[in-house]
Chains A and B, each alone.
Chain A
Amino acid sequence: MAEYDFRAELLAVIPNLRAFAMSLVGAADKADDLVQETLVRAWDKRSSFTPGTNLKGWLFTILRNEFYSQMRKRKREVSDPEGAMAERLSSHPEQVGKLDMEDFKKAINQLPEDQREALILVGASGFSYEEAAGICDCAVGTIKSRVSRARTQLATILKLEGDGEFGPDAVAVGVMNLTSSSAA
């Protein structure tokens, strides 16, 4: 049998694994710990992977499972991992007008975990709803609903929609800049 370079395949997916891990845990070193653990596990069970099938999805599933098993362990020890509460308290709604990436990160961090991961998988990692459902081990409709809720929540947190005096006008400038720079 021809040598299948599993290591090279793993290497190619690492940047995506890191980005997904960052979205789950927030801190870079913790994210890389998670990726490291994922790589070790993937290597150990590489015989169960069929070359040519969706390695990215397979690895994301391993990473996600690893993350949640770690979470279950940690939840008994720490009630506020990563100082998420401190982050929340330090975000100032009056600065929403100049919405930068830090503000957006804070908003993302306020989403419930299941919504955040669904939004990232579909909106950033490039998975279909069906693939995301496979990774999260839930129904496609559940993923769709989570993504939709996540978008709604973000719009509310960032005051993109209606209510509030810091609303759409301030943000619209940013939207126009963004869309004009990437319009297809």
Chain B
Amino acid sequence: MSAMDQEDDAPEGASKQGMSADSRAFIGLKLRELYDDVVAEPVPDRLLELLGKLGEDDDASRKK
């Protein structure tokens, strides 16, 4: 998106040095929490219905 945000980024080595283990751990944990919250949600009905239909279309086209 905005390229200017990236300009002040330190090179990889320096940025690793500049970040504490706590910060890295914090980011990692939050990231997983955010992601796993969605993974844990039940699959929405409309996606289940779609999966069923994908198979049906094949069956239907074979019969027709």
A residues sitting closer than 8 Å to B (CB atoms) are: 7, 10-11, 14-16, 18-19, 22-23, 32, 35-36, 39-40, 43, 84, 101, 104-105, 108, 110, 112-113, 119-120, 123-125, 144-145, 148-149, 151-155, 158, 160-161, 168, 171-172, 174-175, 178-179, 182
10 further interface pairs, Cβ-Cβ under 8 Å (given A18-B38, A105-B34, A120-B35): A15-B39, A36-B47, A104-B34, A108-B31, A110-B5, A124-B31, A125-B35, A145-B12, A152-B15, A175-B25
Residue of B nearest to A14 (CB): B43
Cβ contact within 8 Å between B19 and A119: no
Cβ contact within 8 Å between B10 and A19: no
Residue of B nearest to A100 (CB): B30
DSSP majority for the A interface?
Answer: helix
By size class, the interface of chain B is 35 or more
Residue of B nearest to A183 (CB): B25
* Residues of chain A with a CB closer than 8 A to B47's CB: 14, 32, 35-36, 39
10 A-B pairs with C-beta separation under 8 A: A18-B43, A32-B44, A39-B51, A39-B54, A112-B2, A124-B34, A124-B36, A148-B15, A151-B27, A172-B22
